[in-house]
Structure formats: structure tokens, C-alpha cells
């Protein structure tokens, strides 16, 4: 509608978000040789953006790409680390994803499943905008924190 939208970069503006900061930190932590030091944050997160048009064009018949599975893991790592900063609870990630891209991802803290997501079309994992990425990560972290508040003893077991 506005001309502003048209001039914004792919993925839109990068919002201020605890979740995005955490995700950026998770990814930059893997840059042991410092080769991404000059890269702006929006570029670090660029591959998390998948527009509606791109989504439609992604085939779902091949094995999911290792880079994509790497991004999915980093996405949930960031949820786990932000959760730890907010609640003190450490959570480990487990996933079971078939070659067809269906499966389940969980975060486990103590004996508690703090987050559980059934996924499908993992090949098309991505977000239309950075704002959407931030909101999704933030909402998952909130859900996980609520689960810990509900079953604190199970999380400590």
C-alpha cells in the first residue's frame, strides 16, 4: 500500500526483539573464523526468510536440505537459550523428522517437555518477514515458560 513497503528490504525491517538477538547470537557463535564479522544482522538471518512465492516453488519431494535442518535447529536453540535466560531452566532439543519432511521437535527440561511441535513440509521452513520470525520465536519461548510455571517439579526432576 505505502511506498515504504516497496522500498523495504526482503523480509522487511528488523524489529528489536529478544528472540532475534538470541538467534543472531546463536548463529554468530558458529562463526569461529570471524568471516561474518562484517555481515549485518539482516544478512545473517536472510535464509530464514521465505516469501509466499518462494514457498510455492520449493519442491517437497527430495530429502530436506542439511542447511535447512541446520536452520531449524538454530531456530529452536535460540528458543531454548532465551528460555534459559528467562527461567533458568536448561532445555535440550530433540527432533524426529522423516525424509518426507514430517516429524516432531521437542525441547526437554528435566523430565518436562516444555515445547512440542509437529512439523510438516519442513522443506518450506521459513518466515515471510523478520517480524513474523521474531513473533514466532517469542511466542514459543512464552509457551515453554508457561509450561515450566505449570509443572516446575517435573522440569527440575
Binding residues for its own copies, rule: CB under 8 A, are: 92, 94-96, 104, 106, 108, 110-113, 116, 147, 150-151, 153-154, 157
β-strand partners of 53: none
Cell 554468530 sits at which residue? 28
Q: Which is nearer to its own copies, 62 or 94 (CB)?
A: 94
Q: Which of 52, 83, 51, 73 shows the shortest CA–CA distance to 122?
A: 73
- Phi then psi for residue 29, to 5 deg, are -65, -20
CB of 28 to its own copies, least distance (A): 24
Which run of H or of E encompasses 97?
strand 92-97
CB of 78 to its own copies, least distance (A): 18
Q: Which is nearer to its own copies, 45 or 147 (CB)?
A: 147
**Using alpha carbons only, what angle is made at residue 97 by residues 67 and 136, rounded to the nearest 5 degrees?**
70
Q: Which is nearer to its own copies, 18 or 73 (CB)?
A: 73
Q: Which is nearer to its own copies, 49 or 147 (CB)?
A: 147
Amino acid at each position: 500500500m505505502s511506498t515504504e513497503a516497496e522500498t523495504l528490504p526482503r523480509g522487511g525491517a528488523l524489529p528489536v526483539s529478544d528472540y532475534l538477538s538470541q538467534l543472531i547470537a546463536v548463529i554468530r557463535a558458529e562463526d569461529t573464523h570471524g568471516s561474518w564479522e562484517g555481515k549485518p544482522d539482516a544478512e545473517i538471518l536472510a535464509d530464514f526468510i521465505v516469501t509466499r512465492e518462494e514457498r510455492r516453488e520449493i519442491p517437497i519431494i527430495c530429502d530436506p536440505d542439511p542447511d535447512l535442518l541446520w536452520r531449524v535447529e538454530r531456530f529452536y536453540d535460540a528458543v531454548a537459550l532465551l528460555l534459559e535466560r528467562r527461567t533458568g531452566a536448561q532445555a535440550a532439543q530433540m527432533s524426529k523428522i522423516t525424509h518426507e519432511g514430517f516429524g516432531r521437535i521437542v525441547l526437554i527440561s528435566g523430565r518436562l517437555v516444555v515445547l512440542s511441535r509437529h512439523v510438516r513440509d519442513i522443506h518450506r521452513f521459513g518466515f515471510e518477514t523478520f517480524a513474523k520470525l521474531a513473533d514466532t520465536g517469542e511466542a514459543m519461548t512464552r509457551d515453554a515458560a508457561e509450561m515450566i510455571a505449570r509443572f516446575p517439579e517435573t522440569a527440575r526432576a
